[in-house]
């Protein structure tokens, strides 16, 4: 038997270490250390109810266990085989105690559809993919279904574009299938550019065949025989795996002419992107593939009517494609049973920031931010206080405490002032200054704007400059008004999605963290201490013994004072490096 | 392997492989080997998964342990890379995080040889679609 | 025709399907401001990157504002072009553009002629609310064009001209975000690129980012120098456009006023490039007949078609892009250079002035002429045949600076002997004109018969590629015409592929020919101006008593006294040239 004790940061903070040693001591004491092993594990992700203890093999899941509970667990459960009811996880809805973790809602919070094979199969072995129903969906489509039937199935499934747009995939396929042309293209958008997002890369690295299979299915539906994957050159491993997978699929005759004994022909080529964020926008992506400058053009015409070299082109993102084979295999109804009314299925998120379980998760649409952050993500690092979560990549909005319980789906996020985006999710804690956060994102969009339209090219730069002014303590109330007006104008007038959403971080932080903005401009204060220009290092005369350590270590000679006398920091010279604070042994230096 | 010409062909491959794969899915096969899967996505490799994988391969050879080492994609526990999933015959898979060669050595000696769990297990917290 | 009904500012408008909001509004008399948008209707040139976002309007039911220039009308659409949301957005966007634009308008080459300046005035901008860092770049001065791209507003008109219309491919957007700007590859200088100096980029630039190299000061200095005799020549297209700079209607001919103005500016001799155009016809026409006859007689070493060579932008183009076809164009120099060569030999001798004391100034509708007159092969011992070439616009500045009331000037004549010209020379200024002039002479020389009808209507028009067969008394001569370098490229490619059946082709680099040149008064997007200039030139031709180059008495005299006959050795030396393969000229950044 094994007793697993969570050793994650959250549980650690609630005495899990002491619990672990108690358990070990009692086991040893009872002479059970041969049969019973007490093990510290990584985070269970359920930090809200920590510390967690799990008994194997019966999967008993104890929550909020204290060191005082150790004896009861050993004596009752391990020795007598009676579960300690009061420590069992209580279902929040029916208040029932659940003995077995397999039946806990928590473990249903993540359902892996797009990531179904990631971390399970060898991505460089097509056989392993096939053994997990791989290419069966393609076979089913080619031999048992008409293109229109497949499109109907896709429409029924309710799958929406996972790249951020959220447009119905089935509808997109239908429009492209109805465009009349001798040549059509299927394009996979693998130009994942959000900072900190790596959903698509992980899918391509872990399950490249699912994307290949889906592209072929799409080709069958819209009448295309060429597929193009536009992938960032900075993803060498994903490129390698994809190339290997394409070669294997060709060898098996799953790409090429006469696929699966039918007269359907389809093949895939790679196109490399140079890492421009804007090339994730589909028209810019197409221009980049054509060898032109990666710049968006006005839609309509949509690529489904006139795309790659003016031919009808269906562009879907990697994660969208990864969902397709499962939908065909398990049926639209099954897929549509997961998620919310208007957003079906699951969504992969790259969890990052001040969170314990940084990583890749896949949750059904409708999961709340709280579940994602506190249950799957294991809560905030170092027990700090949650402040905001930013979804939707650099141009998403910052959501706060009040949004934590709203279910995640396309429409809710937009209503809350953010967006789904491609699935980046960055968590911020009390140490993050929201003005600086907005500035950070603007810095990114200023850099990544293609420069084609004036509001994005110049407007974002100006937003950045005003925010910079605020963080330096030079801002005024009018500056906040200017930020608001300019943000609204950029949203209203920018050409493509990049510019239309780039002010989101500004607007959402002004909306949700108004007090912080006001503090920056009127009190010249930054409550999280991130805006260095707004800090003052001062010496508390009472504590200063005149050891001169601070003065000797000040790189700009801003500190004066006699030996054994009180020292003073000249604020006009001080560069706020913090050396004095570090060197003072008498707690005389502090930040104001 | 030749060309796959029909759905039947495809299912045949699947069946042939079922034996091998089931060893990963349900570990009820007593004769089966120790399965080691190293998460080799960019995040894993960047944290040293390659060395860990090489270590397992070499050490199994040296210590004469019958085991299969394969690579796989990202398991999602990027905070704990490199991650390695170990499936002992007859047991559920166990995922270990922060695996370096020292930890790998521990895993071989304690868990693989003696079935003793080692600190640092990452609890699996998702459902796969098969169970749905 | 399928039509659509929509409401713009509460006005019900019915337009053809596919009409943009901008066009629909203009048809309804509602003027939506535009900046990057450019539509040269008669030339079928349109630039609508939808980049400036000044033309945004509100469309009911739409989340954001719509750019009127590219948004097509839909049935039942409700458009508002001037509510507070639209006005605020438009003005904010304009202020943003201004915030990244130098405000040295007073000393800008485009002062008073700048579309951005006019818009700021129209919008009543009194304060830029979003001031901040301005993007700065290195200024680039080439022999003909100055790129001061601090003033670039990324309208992309020049890029469209250079790539889509001219297919030269020098200018395109580079860099990202705030630093993005239009420049040659790797931000090299223009003179390190394959730029032809056609100046079409300058012709469409709404601001002072692209302007000509100004030579007016050099001209003023030469005029003030008592040791110099200063001779001026004015190209045919100038007289049809110069009036626009003085408020006259487009297409007003100001030949006489121009001659009067030049005289008042202090030029010692006021001559006409048209004289040299007649001379060009003598040489080029004879060369055509010579090559034609030899070719028809079975000499396979003589290539046909023969291509005109009077356009310097075009010469630069094929030297860079089709060097393997350098034996196809005529070897005749352009009229500007023929004039210079004759002025500094024949005429200098005649008046007894040494070459180095004679200054030749040309007034050209063209910026490539600035580069042409600086070519090494057009100089003797370092002294150029043409010293300075200034554009129509520069001439207007000279006149204005010199307190000359242009519109009050009397009509005067050019001086003799290099000021006399025929109707054939006048039409050099428009697409189709050179080849028509050549046909008039070649026909009569070849057939020995008088032309019944002097005007060749079949060679006239504005279509980019035109073809016609002229009956040379039983010999059908196939003529091709292309204007705009992109269209020239098509004809050249046909020749390269052996598909061309023409005997002679006229090519002009600028859409419309010289009347649409890069040195002409700015059309600001109104292509009817170019058409009006064309009509003016044909009118001047029709009014001339002599309309065939070989009948110009001073040309006859020139041959008698000096050159002998067309294609003589002296002609070869003074009036013909050779071309250089510039395709391999890859230069590095300094």
pLDDT number for residue A105: 66
Distance of CA C202 to the CA centre of its chain: 10
pLDDT number for residue C364: 98
Judge whether B8 lies within some domain: no
C494 close contact with A: CB closer than 8 A: no
Cα dist. A386→A389, A396, C35, C216 in Å? 8, 18, 47, 69
Across the interface, do C180 and A486 touch by the CB < 8 Å criterion? no
The enclosing H or E element of B72 equals strand B67-72
Task: Classify domain C3-82 by CATH number.
Answer: 3.10.20.740
Distance of CA C2 to the CA centre of its chain: 38
Chain A, 26 to 45: residues with Cβ < 8 Å from chain B are 37, 39-45
E-state strands within A431-501: none
User: Could you list the residue range(s) of the whole structural domain that residue A561 is in?
Assistant: 536-591
pLDDT number for residue C585: 66
Mean pLDDT score, C156-162: 96
Distance CA A513, CA C81 (A): 35
Same domain, A171 and A277: yes
Nearest CA in chain C to A468: C132
pLDDT number for residue B131: 46
pLDDT tens per residue across span A322-337 = 999 999 999 999 999 9
Same domain, A415 and A464: no
C89: CB partners within 8 A, 6+ apart: A489, A492, A493, C53, C56, C65
Which is more confidently placed, C584 or C457? C457
Q: What would the two tokens of residue C34 be?
A: 């535009």
A44: CB partners within 8 A, 6+ apart: A6, A8, A11, A50, A52, A54, A378, B123, B125
Mean pLDDT score, C143-162: 96
pLDDT number for residue B28: 45
Cα dist. C307→C310, C480, C495 in Å? 10, 9, 11
Burial C122-160 (b: 16+ CB within 10 A, else e): ebeeeebbbebeebebeebebbbbbbbbbbbbbbbbbbb
Among candidates A457, A492, A494 on the partner chain, residue whose Cβ is nearest the Cβ of C180: A457
Looking at A333, A361, A385, the residue that finishes a domain is: A333
Q: Per DSSP, what are the bridge partners of residue C58?
A: C80
Q: What residues in A contact C56, CB-CB < 8 Å? A: 492-493
Q: What would the two tokens of residue C581 be?
A: 């393969």
Where are the domains positioned within chain C?
Answer: 3-82, 99-213, 217-575
A106 close contact with B: CB closer than 8 A: yes
Distance CA C540, CA C537 (A): 5
Same domain, A261 and A314: yes
A60-62/A89-90 β-pairing: unpaired
| Among the listed residues C83, C91, C86, C73, the one whose alpha carbon sits nearest the alpha carbon of residue C24 | C73
pLDDT tens per residue across span A76-116 = 888 888 888 888 887 766 777 777 766 666 666 888 899 99
Whether the per-residue pLDDT at B24 is higher than 70: the answer is no
C421: CB partners within 8 A, 6+ apart: C272, C274, C275, C277, C278, C414, C552
Distance CA A566, CA A588 (A): 10
* SS3 (DSSP) at C30: coil
Mean pLDDT score, B105-129: 83
Percent of chain B predicted with pLDDT > 70 = 85
Judge whether A137 lies within some domain: yes
The enclosing H or E element of C71 equals none
Supply the pTM of this predicted model.
0.89
Same domain, A327 and A314: yes
Which is more confidently placed, B127 or A258? A258
Q: For A376-380, C101-105, C569-573, which range has the lowest pLDDT when averaged over its residues? A: A376-380
Q: What residues in C contact A462, CB-CB < 8 Å? A: 96, 99, 130, 132
E-state strands within C125-168: 140-141, 145-147
Whether the per-residue pLDDT at A473 is higher than 70: the answer is yes
Same domain, A401 and A496: no
Distance CA A292, CA A310 (A): 13
Judge whether B76 lies within some domain: yes
Q: How confident is the model at residue C439 (pLDDT cuts 50, 70, 90)?
A: very high
Q: What residues in B contact A203, CB-CB < 8 Å? A: 73
* SS3 (DSSP) at C449: coil
Question: Torsion angle of alpha carbons C398, C403, C408, C412, nearest 10°?
Answer: -50
A478: CB partners within 8 A, 6+ apart: none
The question of whether C377 is a catalytic residue gets the answer yes
Same domain, A235 and A320: yes
Same domain, A378 and A485: no
User: Could you list the residue range(s) of the whole structural domain that residue B84 is in?
Assistant: 27-131
Q: What residues in C contact A459, CB-CB < 8 Å? A: 92-93, 96, 130
C51 close contact with A: CB closer than 8 A: yes
Across the interface, do A39 and B121 touch by the CB < 8 Å criterion? yes
CATH of the domain at A279: 3.40.50.11540
Touching, A vs B (3+ Cβ pairs under 8 A): yes
| Among the listed residues A392, A317, A405, A411, the one whose alpha carbon sits nearest the alpha carbon of residue A349 | A392
pLDDT number for residue C263: 97
Same domain, A518 and A549: no
Architecture of domain C217-575: 3-Layer(aba) Sandwich (3.40)
Distance of CA C496 to the CA centre of its chain: 26
Whether the per-residue pLDDT at C1 is higher than 50: the answer is yes
pLDDT number for residue B130: 63
Same domain, A314 and A395: no
pLDDT number for residue C590: 41
Same domain, A500 and A482: yes
pLDDT number for residue A437: 94
Distance of CA A350 to the CA centre of its chain: 3
- Number of helices (H), then strands (E), in chain C: 19, 22
Judge whether A112 lies within some domain: no
The question of whether C158 is a catalytic residue gets the answer no
Q: For A285-299, C189-203, C293-307, which range has the lowest pLDDT when averaged over its residues? A: C293-307
Please identify which residue in the block is written with the tokens 């169970």.
Answer: B131
**CA angle (A416, A109, B94) in 5-degree steps:** 140
pLDDT tens per residue across span A361-409 = 999 999 999 999 988 888 888 888 999 999 988 888 899 999 999 999 9
How close A12 gets to chain B, by Cα (Å)? 13
Judge whether B98 lies within some domain: yes
Across the interface, do A462 and C85 touch by the CB < 8 Å criterion? no
The question of whether C330 is a catalytic residue gets the answer yes
CB of C200 closer than 8 Å to CB of C162: yes
Q: How is residue C69 annotated by DSSP?
A: T
Average model confidence (pLDDT) across chain A: 91
Q: Which partners does chain C have (≥3 C-beta pairs < 8 Å)? A: A
CB of C101 closer than 8 Å to CB of C135: no
Judge whether A570 lies within some domain: yes
* SS3 (DSSP) at A477: helix
Distance CA C78, CA C81 (A): 10
Q: Which partners does chain B have (≥3 C-beta pairs < 8 Å)? A: A
C288: CB partners within 8 A, 6+ apart: C306, C330, C438, C442, C503, C504
Distance CA C390, CA C401 (A): 15
Chain C, 63 to 82: residues with Cβ < 8 Å from chain A are 64-65, 67, 70-72
pLDDT tens per residue across span A265-284 = 999 999 999 889 999 999 99
Same domain, A173 and A321: yes
* SS3 (DSSP) at C472: strand
pLDDT number for residue B32: 66
Among candidates A4, A42, A123 on the partner chain, residue whose Cβ is nearest the Cβ of B73: A123
Looking at A429, A458, A476, the residue that finishes a domain is: A429
Nearest CA in chain A to B1: A252
CB of A378 closer than 8 Å to CB of A351: no
Average model confidence (pLDDT) across chain C: 95
The question of whether C372 is a catalytic residue gets the answer yes
Distance CA C505, CA C177 (A): 44
| Among the listed residues C533, C494, C493, the one whose alpha carbon sits nearest the alpha carbon of residue C510 | C533
From the list C319, C514, C531, C549, the catalytic residue is: C514
Whether the per-residue pLDDT at C502 is higher than 60: the answer is yes
From the list C60, C377, C411, C457, the catalytic residue is: C377
Whether the per-residue pLDDT at C503 is higher than 70: the answer is yes
pLDDT number for residue B91: 79
Architecture of domain C99-213: 2-Layer Sandwich (3.30)
Across the interface, do A447 and C177 touch by the CB < 8 Å criterion? yes
Distance CA C370, CA C388 (A): 7
Mean pLDDT score, A169-186: 97
Whether the per-residue pLDDT at B31 is higher than 60: the answer is no
Q: For A279-293, A368-382, C380-394, C544-558, which range has the lowest pLDDT when averaged over its residues? A: A368-382
The question of whether C2 is a catalytic residue gets the answer no
Q: What residues in A contact B79, CB-CB < 8 Å? A: 43, 356-359
The enclosing H or E element of A41 equals strand A37-41
Whether the per-residue pLDDT at B132 is higher than 70: the answer is no
Across the interface, do C51 and A452 touch by the CB < 8 Å criterion? yes
Judge whether A9 lies within some domain: yes
Across the interface, do A493 and C177 touch by the CB < 8 Å criterion? no
A259: CB partners within 8 A, 6+ apart: A138, A142, A216, A253, A265, A266
CATH of the domain at A382: 3.10.20.600
pLDDT number for residue C586: 54
DSSP secondary structure, A321-366, as one string: HHHHHHHHHH-HHHHHTSB-SSSBSEEEEEEEESBSS-EEEEEETT
CATH of the domain at B56: 3.40.30.10
pLDDT number for residue B26: 45
Judge whether B9 lies within some domain: no
Percent of chain A predicted with pLDDT > 90 = 64
Q: What would the two tokens of residue C282 be?
A: 């003598």
How close C55 gets to chain A, by Cα (Å)? 10
How close A480 gets to chain C, by Cα (Å)? 12
Complex ipTM: 0.92
Task: For chain B, give percent helix, strand, coil, nearest 5.
Answer: 45, 15, 40
CB of B110 closer than 8 Å to CB of A30: no
Q: How confident is the model at residue B21 (pLDDT cuts 50, 70, 90)?
A: low
pLDDT tens per residue across span C339-369 = 999 999 999 999 999 999 999 999 999 999 9
Domain count, chain A: 5
From the list C287, C394, C436, C506, the catalytic residue is: C287
The question of whether C458 is a catalytic residue gets the answer no
Judge whether B83 lies within some domain: yes
How close A515 gets to chain C, by Cα (Å)? 24
Distance CA A499, CA A492 (A): 9
Whether the per-residue pLDDT at C589 is higher than 60: the answer is no
- Residue C248: burial class (beta carbons within 10 Å; 0-12, 13-18, 19+): middle
Distance CA C201, CA C157 (A): 7
Among candidates A276, A453, A491 on the partner chain, residue whose Cβ is nearest the Cβ of C51: A453
Across the interface, do C176 and A453 touch by the CB < 8 Å criterion? no
CB of A234 closer than 8 Å to CB of B103: no
Q: What would the two tokens of residue A382 be?
A: 């170092």
Which is more confidently placed, C1 or C250? C250
Distance of CA C555 to the CA centre of its chain: 27
Looking at A464, A493, A523, the residue that finishes a domain is: A523
The question of whether C405 is a catalytic residue gets the answer no
Q: What residues in C contact A444, CB-CB < 8 Å? A: none
Judge whether A117 lies within some domain: no
Distance CA C265, CA C404 (A): 8
Among candidates A293, A455, A491 on the partner chain, residue whose Cβ is nearest the Cβ of C96: A455
Q: What would the two tokens of residue B63 be?
A: 């210590």
Same domain, A577 and A554: yes
Distance CA B76, CA A365 (A): 18
Nearest CA in chain A to C59: A492
Across the interface, do A486 and C154 touch by the CB < 8 Å criterion? no
Among candidates A452, A465, A493 on the partner chain, residue whose Cβ is nearest the Cβ of C132: A465
pLDDT number for residue C438: 95
Domain count, chain B: 1
Distance CA C194, CA C584 (A): 10
* SS3 (DSSP) at C362: strand
């Amino acid at each position: 038997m094994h007793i697993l004790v969570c050793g994650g940061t959250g549980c650690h903070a609630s005495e899990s270490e002491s619990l672990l040693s108690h358990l070990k001591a009692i086991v040893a004491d009872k002479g059970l250390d041969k049969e019973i092993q007490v093990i510290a594990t990584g985070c269970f992700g359920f930090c809200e109810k920590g510390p967690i203890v799990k008994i194997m093999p019966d999967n008993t899941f104890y929550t909020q266990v204290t060191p005082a509970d150790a004896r009861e667990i050993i004596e009752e459960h391990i020795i007598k085989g009676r579960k300690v009811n009061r420590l069992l996880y209580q279902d929040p809805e029916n208040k029932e105690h659940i003995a077995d973790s397999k039946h806990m809602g928590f473990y249903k919070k993540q359902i892996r559809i797009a990531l179904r094979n990631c971390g399970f199969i060898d991505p460089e072995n097509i056989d392993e993919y096939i053994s997990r129903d791989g290419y069966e969906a393609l076979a089913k489509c080619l031999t048992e279904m008409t293109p229109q039937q497949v499109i109907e199935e896709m429409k029924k499934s309710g799958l929406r574009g996972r790249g951020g747009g959220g447009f119905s995939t089935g509808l997109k396929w239908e429009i492209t299938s109805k465009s009349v042309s001798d040549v059509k293209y299927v394009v996979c958008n693998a130009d994942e550019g959000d900072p900190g997002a790596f959903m698509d890369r992980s899918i391509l690295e872990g399950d490249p065949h699912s994307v290949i299979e889906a592209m072929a299915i799409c080709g069958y539906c819209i009448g295309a025989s060429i597929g193009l994957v536009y992938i960032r050159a900075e993803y060498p491993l994903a490129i390698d795996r994809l190339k290997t997978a394409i070669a294997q699929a060709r060898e098996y005759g799953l790409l090429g002419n006469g696929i699966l004994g039918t007269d359907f022909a389809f093949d895939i080529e790679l196109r490399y992107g140079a890492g421009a964020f804007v090339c994730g926008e589909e028209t810019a992506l197409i221009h980049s593939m054509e060898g032109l400058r990666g710049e968006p053009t006005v839609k309509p015409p949509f690529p489904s009517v006139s795309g790659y070299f003016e031919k009808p082109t269906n562009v879907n993102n990697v994660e969208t494609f990864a969902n397709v084979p499962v939908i065909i295999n398990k049926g639209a109804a099954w897929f549509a049973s997961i998620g919310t009314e208007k957003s079906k299925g699951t969504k992969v998120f790259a969890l990052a920031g001040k969170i314990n379980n940084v990583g890749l998760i896949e949750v059904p649409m409708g999961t709340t931010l709280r579940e994602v952050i506190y249950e799957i993500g294991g809560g905030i690092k170092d027990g700090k206080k949650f402040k905001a979560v930013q979804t939707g990549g650099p141009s998403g909005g910052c959501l706060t405490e009040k949004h934590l319980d709203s279910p995640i789906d396309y429409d809710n996020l937009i209503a809350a002032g953010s967006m789904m985006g491609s699935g980046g999710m960055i968590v911020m804690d009390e140490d993050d200054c929201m003005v600086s956060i907005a500035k950070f994102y603007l810095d990114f969009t200023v850099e990544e704007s293609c420069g084609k339209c004036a509001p994005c090219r110049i407007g974002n730069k100006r937003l950045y400059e005003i925010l910079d002014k605020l963080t330096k303590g030079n801002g005024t109330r009018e500056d906040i008004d200017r930020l608001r007006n300019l943000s609204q104008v950029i949203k209203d007038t920018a050409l493509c999605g990049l510019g239309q959403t780039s002010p989101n971080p500004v607007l959402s932080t002004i909306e949700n963290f108004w007090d912080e903005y006001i503090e920056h401009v009127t009190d010249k204060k930054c409550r999280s201490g991130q805006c260095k220009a707004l800090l003052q290092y001062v010496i508390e005369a009472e504590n200063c013994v005149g050891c001169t350590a601070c003065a000797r270590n000040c790189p700009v000679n801003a500190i004066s004072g006699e030996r054994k006398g009180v020292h003073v920091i000249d604020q006009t010279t001080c560069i706020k490096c913090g050396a004095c604070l570090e060197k003072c042994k008498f707690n005389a230096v502090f930040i104001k | 392997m030749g060309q796959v010409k029909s759905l039947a062909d495809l299912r045949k491959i699947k069946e042939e492989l079922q034996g091998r794969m089931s060893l990963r899915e349900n570990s009820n096969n007593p004769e089966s080997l120790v399965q080691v899967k190293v998460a080799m996505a960019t995040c894993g490799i960047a944290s040293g998964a390659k060395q860990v994988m090489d270590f397992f391969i070499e050490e199994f050879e040296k210590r004469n342990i019958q085991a299969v080492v394969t690579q796989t994609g990202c398991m999602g526990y990027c905070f704990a890379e490199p991650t390695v999933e170990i499936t002992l015959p007859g047991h559920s898979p166990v995922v270990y995080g922060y695996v370096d060669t020292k930890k790998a050595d521990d895993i071989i000696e304690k868990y693989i040889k003696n079935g003793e769990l080692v600190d640092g297990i990452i609890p699996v917290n998702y459902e796969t679609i098969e169970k749905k | 025709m399928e039509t659509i009904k929509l409401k713009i500012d509460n006005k019900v408008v019915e337009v053809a399907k596919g009409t943009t909001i901008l066009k629909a509004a203009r048809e309804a008399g509602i003027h939506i401001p535009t900046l990057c948008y450019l539509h040269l209707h008669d030339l079928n040139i349109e630039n609508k990157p939808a980049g400036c976002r000044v033309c945004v309007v509100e469309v009911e039911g739409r989340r954001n504002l719509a750019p009127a220039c590219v948004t097509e009308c839909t049935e039942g659409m409700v458009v508002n072009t001037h509510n507070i949301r639209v006005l605020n957005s438009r003005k904010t966007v304009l202020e943003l553009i201004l915030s990244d634009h130098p405000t040295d308008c007073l000393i800008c080459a485009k002062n008073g002629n700048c579309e951005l300046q006019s818009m700021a005035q129209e919008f009543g901008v009194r304060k830029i609310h979003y001031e901040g860092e301005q993007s700065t770049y290195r200024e680039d001065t080439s022999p003909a064009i100055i790129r001061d791209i601090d003033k670039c507003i990324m309208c992309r008109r020049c890029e469209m001209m250079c790539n889509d219309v001219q297919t030269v491919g020098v200018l395109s957007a580079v860099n990202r975000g705030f630093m993005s700007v239009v420049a040659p590859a790797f931000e090299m200088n223009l003179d390190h690129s394959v730029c032809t100096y056609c100046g079409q980029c300058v012709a469409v630039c709404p601001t002072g980012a692209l302007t000509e190299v100004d030579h007016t000061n050099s001209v003023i200095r030469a005029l003030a120098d008592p040791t110099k005799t200063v001779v001026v020549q004015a190209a045919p297209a100038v007289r049809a456009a110069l009036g626009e700079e003085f408020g006259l209607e487009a297409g007003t001919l100001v030949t006489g006023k121009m001659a009067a103005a030049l005289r008042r500016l202090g030029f010692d001799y006021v001559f006409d490039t048209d004289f040299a155009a007649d001379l060009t016809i003598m040489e080029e026409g004879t060369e055509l007949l010579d090559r034609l006859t030899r070719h028809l007689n079975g000499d396979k070493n003589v290539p046909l078609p023969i291509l005109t060579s009077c356009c310097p932008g075009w010469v630069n183009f094929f030297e860079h892009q089709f060097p393997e076809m350098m034996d196809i164009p005529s070897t005749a120099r352009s009229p500007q250079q023929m004039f210079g060569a004759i002025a500094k030999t024949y005429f200098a001798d005649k008046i007894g002035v040494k070459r180095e004391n004679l200054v030749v100034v040309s007034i050209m509708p063209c910026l490539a002429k600035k580069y042409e007159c600086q070519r090494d092969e057009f100089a003797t011992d370092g002294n150029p045949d043409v010293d300075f070439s200034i554009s129509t616009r520069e001439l207007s500045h000279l006149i204005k600076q010199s307190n000359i009331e242009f519109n009050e000037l009397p009509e005067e004549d050019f001086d003799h002997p290099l000021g006399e010209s025929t109707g054939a020379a006048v039409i050099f200024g428009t697409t189709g004109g050179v080849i028509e002039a050549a046909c008039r002479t070649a026909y009569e020389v070849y057939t020995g018969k008088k032309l019944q009808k002097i005007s060749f209507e079949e060679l006239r028009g504005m279509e980019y590629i035109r073809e016609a067969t002229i009956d040379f008394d039983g010999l059908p001569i196939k003529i091709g015409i292309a204007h705009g370098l992109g269209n020239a490229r098509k004809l050249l490619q046909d020749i390269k592929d052996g598909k061309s059946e023409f005997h002679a082709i006229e090519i002009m680099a600028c859409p419309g020919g010289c009347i649409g040149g890069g040195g002409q008064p700015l059309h600001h997007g109104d292509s009817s101006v170019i058409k009006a200039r064309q009509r003016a030139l044909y009118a001047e031709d029709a009014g001339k008593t002599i309309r065939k180059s070989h009948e110009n008495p001073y040309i006859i005299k020139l041959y008698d006294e000096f050159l002998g006959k067309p294609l003589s050795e002296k002609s070869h030396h003074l009036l013909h040239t050779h071309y250089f393969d510039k395709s391999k000229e890859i230069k590095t950044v300094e």
